[in-house]
Structure 1
Amino acid sequence: MRFGIFYEHQLPRPWEEGAEERLLNDALEQVELADRIGIDHVWEVEHHFLEEYSHSSAPEVFLAAASQRTRRIRLGHGIVQLPPGFNHPARVAELIATLDLLSGGRVDFGTGESSSQMELGGFGVDRESKRAQWTEALDVVTRMMVEEPFAGHRGRFLSVPPRNVVPKPKQKPHPPLWVACSRRDTILLAARRGIGALAFSFVEPEEARRWVDDYHAILASDECVPAGFAVNPNVAVVLPFMCHQDEQTAIERGIDGAHFFGYSLAHYYVFGDHRPARTSVWDEFGSNRGRRGFTREIVNAEDAPLGMKLLERGMGSLRGAIGTPAQVRGLLERYQAAGVNQVILVSQSGRNRHEHICESLELFGREVLPGFAEEADAEDARRRERLAEHCERALARRPPPRPPESVDPAYVVSTTGEPWSHATASVDGRTHLRRAAARAGRSATRAALSRAVRGRSDAALSRTAGSPAGLWMLFNGMARNFRPEHAGGFHGDIQYVLDGADGARPWFVRVAGGAARAHRGLAPAPAITFRMPVAVFVRIAAGELSSNRALVDGQLGIDGDFPLAQRLPEMFGDASPY
């Protein structure tokens, strides 16, 4: 099993003069140390506008600096935002190839599409089509790195004329491809596209085993059609990390940083309301960490095996690889047994101190890493041999690069023009009208409901919209808006228990066979249960109250599959807020 280190460049408020400069230079020193002790990868994200959580908006610059201070460590873009509103594919192909040449062929090319409103809104990237934009851009980028000349592309989101994109990368046909994954459905997407899965969710080894098994099952099937011109069959997971001979010292040095990492991520992606340059995520973390699942007091030195998460007395917390060398080794061995190919360690988080991070890495290099490093090359060789036939078959299903002769020899770019129109291909007229009509219908329905709700008391809403007939209309409307393409393979029951003056009013929506149906009553085994007053449900349905605000205020309770809750807006017809 291989190991990486990971950087968001976190910088909690308040900010001192020179703090960002010191942060970046400390990180470069840590990368140098990781290179010396035998860490295999350094991964650097691309994020924009995510104050405190990530000050890593130019990863190509940081990784270029790291390339000149290291000899062997691989340089991972984890990830490059691919929707063209963030980065034009030609620029991506150029910067990846240039870094690959500067580093002697050490680049790993991780890709993603973002899901934070701060970034999508900041760059004007459409949430509903961002996955399609990622797919189209990834195809264009990989072709640009291998075709001479690039034969041109006219798609839904991009129009790029024939060009020879230079330079070309050192690694052939291109650096290994990865995609950021936060849920099981994106793990499966990675397998279908024959690319590595960067699992940025904090998952236990046993859950990771299920993800790995599902990944390899699809990789070996006819479903796998590679996105690039080589297959990268790898699954990596991320862990909070701090190592010390004394367990309590490791906790004191690392747990607050680990918790801030999780909290600040959720601030931008799940529950936060952010005022640019005004909100202090660190202050909110200090006030709210316990209620958000980052309870400090239940993380104690117990000389026990480590787990990713803790649960005690109904309180949740995050732990990960924070402990002694023996504890860390034991946890990593469980991930190795689960089939994980790389564990990526996160130490630079919150207010973790540079000297503590370096001491932790040095101890890891002396007492934990050697046992894994001795087996890593042999493990990789066995995996390549085991998967070689599957990878070869998958590549046979992928259209090859377009040959040079596919570009008209008469195609000439003069100093004043060329024979190319930059109009993009679009969906056919009927499809466009159908989608527009559906959006308009949903908007009109919500607008009408909003007008009916505005200014009404909770008691009045409970009597009217919360009546049996009113709830029948709301839940059946929800079922009609179901979009199976956004369900990620989910099938099961979604339970709502609505509290009214006359008691509970239970309804559930059953998803099966690519459709959804509403039912009154209690489901036998719901995947998730929402509990709230009738009036709160009606206000959320009308768009007058956000579910995040209801959750923060204690008006909404959720039991079960929380990641499913994050997907529901997409599944039932609204742009997801996550």
Structure 2
Amino acid sequence: MKFSVIFEAQLADPTVEREHQVIRDCVEQAVLAERMGFDRIWAVEHHSLKWYAHMSAPEIFLTWVAARTNTIRIGHGVVCMPFAFNHPVRVAERAAMLDLLSGGRVDLGAGRGGTAQETSLCGVDRDRTAAEVEEALRIIGKAWQEEELEYHGELIDIDPHPILPRPSQRPHPPLFLACSRGETLVQAAELGVGALVMGFAGPESIAGMRSVYDAAIAGRDGGRFVSTVVNDHFSVLCPTIVLDDPEEARRIGIRGQRFFAQSIGHWYGGAGVPDEAVVAGADEGAEMRRAAEQVVARLHELDIPVRPTSTATFNADHAYGSADEAIAYVERLREAGADEIMCLIQMGTVPQEACLETLRQWGEKVIPHFANGGAANGHAGNERGADEHRRNA
């Protein structure tokens, strides 16, 4: 079982001063995460998504963190791979340089960056994003393994060139794909890359997604593999706030998640701007239920079918509360098939003190429980993450 922390650089107050402080806060959290025994940090890439994610240059953020740490793995979770966002050769060059300078600690995830706000900013053809992500992964895998890269695909042609430098990890850092639907889980399995399962699905939904991933792994023939090495690592998001006062942790965590959900609704669904107010003593659970009801009502107005995914971001059944409650929740995720727990702590309304205390609680109480022989994982035989990737290399 691996433990990591993922950063969006989200903020409720989008002033320049607050933005600068939040990004510095993320660095402080990442450095503390290493001291607390986390295995990895992940940084997203998004563009022009005010409130939701101000992490537009993760390669700079991750390099800054790498220079201040020694052992924690440094993960792109994920790079926007459509060519108008990032040319695949430039991704290969940057990630290899970071891997070299960090002493072989890089993990590289790929994603589409699919909001209209982002694609319109960079001139991305939204109809080609899925195909471009797959082709980019294929190019990067070749660039890191061949003396000269030559590639002629359906979407791009690259004449023979050496791609430099080479990464420290041989043949290359582990590859991952952002997954939120069955289709992307199948794609990840068929490409031979790890799955970064995003979203606020609970353990029951995670178990279903693991089944889809495992079935695709069992049924693949290797024809779509993007590299000579395979990474079948299954990482899942775990929203969490853990404090000595469990009720306060639940209030802060659910409020943070509600802001997160409203931000997603704004950029992905055309809803209003997120509510930044934090009201002392508010019943955040009731506010979450009310927000979910509003989404359902809006879908009914538009005659759009309501599915479980429609209100998944308002599911408040997560690791909010005491360390013991977090342990119990992680046990459920592990039983569902998680190889890695990606802790989402830094949400727009969550104070820095609560983020730091949550990291300490996980480091002192939650992670040691699993390191010291927590309940066995029924999917342990499928756990083929970064460690096995390097052994097979």
TM-score with structure 1 setting the length: 0.59
Using the TM superposition, give the Cα deviation of residue 263 of structure 1 relative to its aligned residue in structure 2, in angstroms.
1.9
Give the 3 Å change call, closer, same or farther, for CA 258–72 of structure 1 in structure 2: same
CA distance in 1 between counterparts of 2:342 and 2:333 reads 11
Structure scoring higher RCO (CA < 8 A, sep ≥ 6) equals: 2
Using the TM superposition, give the Cα deviation of residue 108 of structure 1 relative to its aligned residue in structure 2, in angstroms.
0.7
Residue 183 of structure 1 is matched in structure 2 by: 181
Using the TM superposition, give the Cα deviation of residue 195 of structure 1 relative to its aligned residue in structure 2, in angstroms.
0.8
Residue 174 of structure 1 is matched in structure 2 by: 172
Using the TM superposition, give the Cα deviation of residue 254 of structure 1 relative to its aligned residue in structure 2, in angstroms.
2.1
Residue 340 of structure 2 is matched in structure 1 by: 342
| 1:13–1:281 contact (8 Å) kept in structure 2 | no
Residue 321 of structure 1 is matched in structure 2 by: 319
Residue 284 of structure 2 is matched in structure 1 by: none
Residue 218 of structure 2 is matched in structure 1 by: 220
Counterpart residue identity of residue 354, structure 1: Q
Counterpart residue identity of residue 178, structure 1: F
CA distance in 1 between counterparts of 2:202 and 2:122 reads 34
Q: Does 1:354 align with 2:329?
A: no
The 3-state SS of whatever aligns with 1:170 is: coil
Counterpart residue identity of residue 29, structure 2: Q
Give the 3 Å change call, closer, same or farther, for CA 375–76 of structure 1 in structure 2: farther
Residue by residue, what CA displacement relative to the aligned partner does 1:56-76 show, whole Å, maximum 9, x if unpaired?
A: 010000000110111111111
Counterpart residue identity of residue 7, structure 1: F
The 3-state SS of whatever aligns with 2:125 is: coil
Residue by residue, what CA displacement relative to the aligned partner does 1:529-559 show, whole Å, maximum 9, x if unpaired?
A: xxxxxxxxxxxxxxxxxxxxxxxxxxxxxxx
| Aligned pairs for 1:356-505 within 5 A | 356-375=354-373, 383=381
Counterpart residue identity of residue 81, structure 2: L
CA distance in 1 between counterparts of 2:382 and 2:239 reads 29
| Aligned pairs for 1:50-449 within 5 A | 50-150=49-149, 152-224=150-222, 225-272=224-271, 280-282=273-275, 291-293=290-292, 317-375=315-373, 383=381
The 3-state SS of whatever aligns with 1:281 is: coil
CA distance in 1 between counterparts of 2:275 and 2:142 reads 43
Residue 9 of structure 1 is matched in structure 2 by: 9
Residue 40 of structure 2 is matched in structure 1 by: 41
CA distance in 2 between counterparts of 1:50 and 1:30 reads 22
CA distance in 2 between counterparts of 1:230 and 1:386 reads 11
Q: Which runs of 5+ in 2 are unaligned?
A: 280-286, 295-307, 309-313
CA distance in 2 between counterparts of 1:168 and 1:132 reads 26
Give the 3 Å change call, closer, same or farther, for CA 40–386 of structure 1 in structure 2: closer
Residue 18 of structure 1 is matched in structure 2 by: 17
Residue 478 of structure 1 is matched in structure 2 by: none
Give the 3 Å change call, closer, same or farther, for CA 75–334 of structure 1 in structure 2: same
Residue 409 of structure 1 is matched in structure 2 by: none
CA distance in 1 between counterparts of 2:159 and 2:334 reads 46
Counterpart residue identity of residue 78, structure 2: I
CA distance in 2 between counterparts of 1:258 and 1:264 reads 10
| 1:83–1:134 contact (8 Å) kept in structure 2 | yes
Using the TM superposition, give the Cα deviation of residue 219 of structure 1 relative to its aligned residue in structure 2, in angstroms.
1.2
TM-score with structure 2 setting the length: 0.85
Residue by residue, what CA displacement relative to the aligned partner does 1:509-531 show, whole Å, maximum 9, x if unpaired?
A: xxxxxxxxxxxxxxxxxxxxxxx
The 3-state SS of whatever aligns with 2:160 is: coil
CA distance in 1 between counterparts of 2:278 and 2:354 reads 22
Using the TM superposition, give the Cα deviation of residue 91 of structure 1 relative to its aligned residue in structure 2, in angstroms.
0.5
Using the TM superposition, give the Cα deviation of residue 226 of structure 1 relative to its aligned residue in structure 2, in angstroms.
1.7
CA distance in 2 between counterparts of 1:285 and 1:384 reads 42
What CA RMSD, in Å, does the superposition of the two structures yield over aligned residues? 2.7
Larger Rg: 1
CA distance in 2 between counterparts of 1:219 and 1:20 reads 41
The 3-state SS of whatever aligns with 1:220 is: helix
Q: Which runs of 5+ in 1 are unaligned?
A: 274-279, 296-308, 310-315, 396-578
